[in-house]
Amino acid sequence: MRDSIESEIEIAAPLDRVWGLVSQPGWWVNDGTYAEGAAERVADGEWVVHNEHHGDIAVTVVELAEPERAVFRWSPGGPGSSPTTIEFTLASSSGGVTVAVVESGFAALTPEQYEKTYSGNVEGWRIELGALADAADAARTGEHA
């Protein structure tokens, strides 16, 4: 059983623009398009993302170290499942910004939760990082993400 998922993308955008997107709690809880404004703050560091398809998802802000590191915790297996930790690391590059994501904690899931979430999240991060790049580009062109 693998404990973590790692993925990375190069985004042709300024660091501050990408940070503004990545630092939003729960932006990755969506249907393939960046979920701007979908999170509601319910307590200090605690947020709920409202999504028609996935329902209400709790997200905890663990750390925001602008502009290079954002760490969140959530339960990808739904309420009552063990949480995973998502760490985004941003670094300037010649082409813009490299965004790396590591989601860890899958080994603590029950076998049923693991089976339900791990492979979906592997594919999900490919989709979500693409949505992040699209949102950064839309911000550049003045379109809505």
For the chain, which residues make up each domain, given as ranges?
4-141
Report pLDDT for 105: 97
Fold held by 4-141: Alpha-D-Glucose-1,6-Bisphosphate; Chain A, domain 4 (3.30.530)
Query: Which DSSP state fits 139?
Result: H
Report pLDDT for 102: 98
Report pLDDT for 134: 95
Please indicate, yes or no, whether the overall pTM of this predicted structure exceeds 0.85: yes
Cα separation of the two ends of the chain: 36
Report pLDDT for 143: 53
pLDDT in tens, 89-136: 999 999 899 999 999 999 999 998 899 899 999 999 999 999 999 999
Tell me how crowded residue 84 is: count the other CB atoms within 10 A of its CB. 25
The Cα–Cα gap between 32 and 14 comes to: 22
In this prediction, residue 142 has a pLDDT band, given cuts at 50, 70 and 90, of low
Report pLDDT for 75: 92
Report pLDDT for 54: 80
List of residues 6+ apart from 44 with CB closer than 8 A = none
pLDDT at 9 over 90: yes
pLDDT at 53 over 90: no
The percent of residues in the chain predicted with pLDDT above 90, rounded, is 74
pLDDT at 145 over 60: no
State the amino acid at position 2 in one-letter form: R
pLDDT in tens, 19-40: 999 999 999 998 889 977 789 9
φ and ψ at residue 25, rounded to 5 degrees: -60, 130
Length of the chain: 145
8 A C-beta contact, residue 56 and residue 75: no
